[in-house]
Amino acid sequence: MDGIREDRTKRLSYITDMFRKFYGEKGYIEIKRRSLVSRHDLSIRFTNSTTSVMKPYFTDGRKLDEKIMLIQPALGFQGINYWEREKGIGCFSSYFLSFGVMSEFTNLEELVSNSIEFFADVLRIDMCNFFVQLREEDIQLCNIFKQKDVNVCKDLFQDKYYLHQFGIDGVIGKTACYTIFNNDEYRYIGSIIIIEQQGVPIAIEHSFDSTLFLAALKKNGHPVLEMSGAKECYEEMLKTMPYEERLVLVDFLNVYVVLKMEGLNPSSRGRGGNLRKVIKLISEIVFENRLDEKLLRNAVSLIYDEEDESRKSLTERAIDCCNKEEVVECLINEIERLRA
């Protein structure tokens, strides 16, 4: 990606600017992001993608008659769940910016063409290493990609019927995955999703994940290291912690910081209970590795500062509720409570 410096915030700012410029010129209108604490959507624990924010545009009974785009802070619990289950870390991160565009289904070929142009001509991805993974059944999509001379792979999904679920009866998303072939593996970065209601296509979405995308461009990159403050935190912990626990702690600290920035407080149940679980997992790693409190405070501060800087480019920033000192002290106090 020519012109993008190694600094994560600057690279993310570059992608954000290019995304807005490119799709704005294509007639897409940016909508406001939502809070990560998904009070607007009770079917999910936290806002987990651009699609969860765009849902009202294709489920309120009216036709999706406009082109919309969105840059949305998003949270998946894959990293946390994987650590609890396997005591290992997979090739994903729990927090990221999700970039997405959506339009009516009749714009399918145009949307696919735009997404390819954005990656190839704007972000200058080497298309020789760019692949789309499809299900055998998705003949229309397969033909579009072949016409665009994009590498197509079939039958690479573990689940043959890879579908998005939206928490809405009768609505599913048939997914084609964009991947970059790097370091002898296919690395997922985003999707084309055909959204159907009762079997009838009603909308089409293109989305990609910031941490997966940036990590996929590096031969040995890991998505966690593309999170806020990750590089500095990771290097600070280098001499005191094993590799996997460093990555897991950076991942969990990011989740903690962004949820606190959005006004969530730890509690005994609900979303606050999810936050308290994250703090408990952080505490276990801190206790096991006898992590110095000063190092922990520095790590939280680094993550807060970089996340705060990244959010300056979002269309809605007033949701942020806690200042840095509150975020740091809440974690330290919760850890002390668990220690006692």
Q: Rounded mean pLDDT of the chain?
A: 87
pLDDT for position 3: 45
- Residue 89: band (very low, low, confident or very high) from pLDDT cuts 50, 70, 90: confident
- 36 and 111 both lie in a single domain: yes
Residue 166 lies in a domain: yes
pLDDT digit string, tens, across residues 221-244: 889 999 999 988 888 887 788 888
Average pLDDT over every residue of 298-313 = 91
Please answer whether residues 317 and 251 qualify as being in contact, where contact means their C-beta atoms are separated by less than 8 angstroms: no
User: Nearest CA to 177 among 131, 123, 111?
Assistant: 131
Strands 130-134 and 151-154: parallel
What pLDDT does 164 receive?
78
Task: Please name the helix (run of DSSP H) or strand (run of DSSP E) that holds residue 298, with its range, or none.
Answer: helix 293-310
Q: What is the pLDDT of residues 12-32, one digit of tens each?
A: 999 999 999 999 999 999 999
Residues 6+ apart with CB under 8 A from 147: none
Tell whether pTM > 0.95: no
Read off the pLDDT of residues 144-160 as tens digits, 9 standing for 90 and up.
Answer: 998 989 998 865 555 54
Name the domain boundary from 216, 251, 286: 216
Last residue of a domain, which of 174, 194, 216? 216
* Residue 223 lies inside a defined structural domain of this protein: no
C-alpha distance from residue 317 to each of 95, 135, 273, 302 (Å):
17, 38, 25, 19
Answer with the one of 161, 186, 216 that is the final residue of a domain: 216
pLDDT band at 5 (very low <50, low <70, confident <90, very high): very low
Does one domain contain both 258 and 136? no
Which residue range is the domain that position 112 belongs to? 8-216
> How many domains are there within the chain?
2
Mean pLDDT throughout 307-328? 81
pLDDT at 39 over 70: yes
Q: How far is 340 from 337, CA to CA, in rounded Å?
A: 5
pLDDT score, position 304: 94
Compare 67 and 134 and report the one with higher pLDDT: 67
129 vs 127: CA distance, rounded Å? 5
Tens-digit pLDDT profile for residues 109-132 = 999 999 999 999 999 999 999 999
Q: What is the pLDDT of residues 189-213, one digit of tens each?
A: 999 999 988 888 889 999 999 999 9
Burial call 289-320: b when 16+ CB within 10 Å, e when fewer: eebeeeebebbbbbbbbbbbebbebbeeeebb
Check whether residue 108 and residue 140 sit in a common domain.
yes
In a domain, 258, yes or no: yes
Q: What is the pLDDT, as a whole number, of residue 312? A: 84
Mind spelling out the 3-state secondary structure of 144-170? HHHHCCCEEEECCCCCCCCEEECCCCC
91 and 210 share one domain: yes
Pair (77, 189) in one structural domain:
yes
Same-domain status, 186 and 259? no
Average pLDDT rounded to a whole number, residues 151-175 = 73
Closest CA to 278 of 267, 262, 289, 288: 267
Domain check: are 191 and 245 in the same one? Answer: no
Query: Given pLDDT bands bounded at 50, 70 and 90, which one contains residue 317?
Result: low
CATH of the domain at 170: 3.30.930.10
Rg (CA), the chain: 20
Residue 222 lies in a domain: no
